[in-house]
Structure formats: structure tokens, C-alpha cells
Amino acid sequence: MDYTFKIAIVVFAYLVVIMGAYFIKLMLRRYEEDVGTSGLKGAGMVIGVVERVMVLTFVLVNQYTAITVIFAAKSIARFNELKDRKMAEYYLIGTLVSITFALLVGIIAGEILGVGCEENLSELPKRYNNQ
């Protein structure tokens, strides 16, 4: 596969996850009235973009378990707000949609690039048979 093509796929994948902010905002729009706003204006969108960029990066380097760091960091930052059920559900919907979107983009890009997770999955039987 041509090096330029690989670079183009990676750049395109990052652009898709960055532009995914508008798709996710559209999905969450109907819940915004019930939750209200808190914090800095537009900060949620910026956090979401950074979150998706991190997820995409973790997927492309086959570090799926590192995605849990994102959940932990966001949960710590929003701990007090998560006591409100509506806010907790809004947060969970947004986070899950965002991470799923980035995962799908990363998996598709990884398959095109030939860096999919199959080598990690093929190691599982060996790892458990040795225990």
C-alpha cells in the first residue's frame, strides 16, 4: 500500500472524528433542555473532540484498554454532576455515542490500513492456554 495513501486515510479518519462533533451535537440536541447547561460554553464539544481523537489514536495503535482512561477522567471531572439522574443519562449518552463513533471510524481506518485488531485477538487463545 502506498505511503501517501496511508497518510491520507489517517488524516481523513481524524477529520471525520473531529467533524463528528456536529453529528453528536445533533443527536443530543433534544436532551439539552432537560439537562440545562453548566460549565464553560462550548467546552463539552471541545472535550468530545479531544475524546474522539484520543479514542481514534488508541484504536490505530491497538491500545483499546487505554480507552478506559477517558471514562475515568470524565467521570472524575463530572462526579458531582452525575448525582442528577438526567445529567448522568445525558453524560452517558454523549460519551457512549462519541466513543462508539470514534471506535467505528478507527476500526474501519485500521482495516483499510491493515492494522486491525486481529493480531491481538489471535493471541488470546495462546495466552489463556498457557495459564
Q: Is residue 10 part of a domain?
A: no
- The pLDDT score that the predictor gives to residue 28 is 83
Q: Is residue 32 part of a domain?
A: yes
Q: Is residue 2 part of a domain?
A: no
- The pLDDT score that the predictor gives to residue 86 is 79
Model confidence over 37-96: pLDDT tens digits? 666 677 778 888 999 999 999 999 999 899 998 888 877 776 676 677 777 788 888 889
Q: What is the mean pLDDT of residues 89-107?
A: 90
Q: Is residue 74 part of a domain?
A: yes
Largest CA distance in the chain: 54
Q: Is residue 6 part of a domain?
A: no
Q: Is residue 45 part of a domain?
A: yes
The number of domains in the chain is: 1
What secondary structure letter does DSSP report for 37? -
* Per-residue burial over 38-63, b = 16 or more CB atoms within 10 Å of its CB, e = otherwise: eeeeeebeebbbebbebbbbbbbebe
Whole-prediction pTM value? 0.78
Which range among 24-38, 41-55, 101-115 shows the weakest confidence by mean pLDDT? 24-38
- The pLDDT score that the predictor gives to residue 92 is 84
- By the 8 A CB rule, do 21 and 48 touch? yes
